[in-house]
Amino acid sequence: MSAPGDVPPQILARLRPICRGLPETYEEPAWIGVRWRIRKRTFAHVYAPDPERCPGAGETPTVMTFRVPSDELLGLTADGFPFFRAEWGRNVAGAFLDDHTDWTEIAELITDSYCEMAPKFLVARVAPTPPTT
């Protein structure tokens, strides 16, 4: 069982090229896990939460939080797993990441989150999200 905050290397290996492919982003350790930022704004944060906060999850899950356009938040989170509305922020959602994660969808969500947080001139430089394998 991993400690709270630990992110499995295979998940970081999937997220890094997506996040680093966006203009002027950087990665840094967060208070728990790892986050990607544009300027001083976080657009993706991945971590393993305290198992006591995720009862019934079995092993410590890996969670990624990100920004969603406010008008899309309910549609994304309404069906539940793997998505949820975060306990903070008006437009913050989360996703459980595991062996069944749709990485193409995650790449699109990360790109949308970046576009929510980045200056408009950087958003204009964002290419459409390519399919991920």
Residue 72 sits at the vertex; the CA angle it makes with 126 and 127, to the nearest 5 degrees, is 10
Q: Which tokens in the block code for residue 95?
A: 């996703």
Class of the domain covering 9-123:
alpha beta
For the chain, the domains span: 9-123
pLDDT digits (tens, 9 = 90+) for 75-133: 999 988 999 999 888 899 999 999 899 999 999 999 999 999 999 999 999 976 555 55
pTM: 0.86
Q: How far, in Å, CA of 77 to CA of 115, rounded?
A: 19
Q: How far, in Å, CA of 61 to CA of 78, rounded?
A: 20
